[in-house]
Amino acid sequence: MPDDLPSVPAAQVPDDAVLVDVREDDEWAAGHAPGAVHIPLGDLPARVGELPEGDVHVVCRSGGRSARATAWLQQNGVDAVDVAGGMGAWYEAGRPMTSEQGQEPRVL
């Protein structure tokens, strides 16, 4: 990963930020940020056109996949910022979460 990869702690992600979650389907279903866009990391190259204009904040479970996605997006002309610590840090910071089946949201 580039040393200068832009990142922000989960607690400091702006409330109105576009959040792209690159985790797998089961992880997403268990718990994610409300309003996040779900594009699994493996699907990102084929679905990059679905990203909204402007800055995107990229999140995964703990930060590895989102760092790779952020680096790839940056190399392909997208203004992307990695969410340091991923959804684990998001949960620990008390940020809002929801789940797909209405159960208590959790991070897988």
Any idea which residues carry the catalytic annotation? 60
| Neighbour count for residue 103 (Cβ, 10 Å) | 10
> What CA–CA distances, in Å, run from 48 to 28, 40, 99?
18, 11, 24
Q: Are 5 and 67 in contact (CB under 8 A)?
A: yes
Q: Using CA atoms of 23, 30, 47, 55 in order, give the dihedral in degrees to the nearest 10.
A: -80
Q: Are 29 and 108 in contact (CB under 8 A)?
A: no
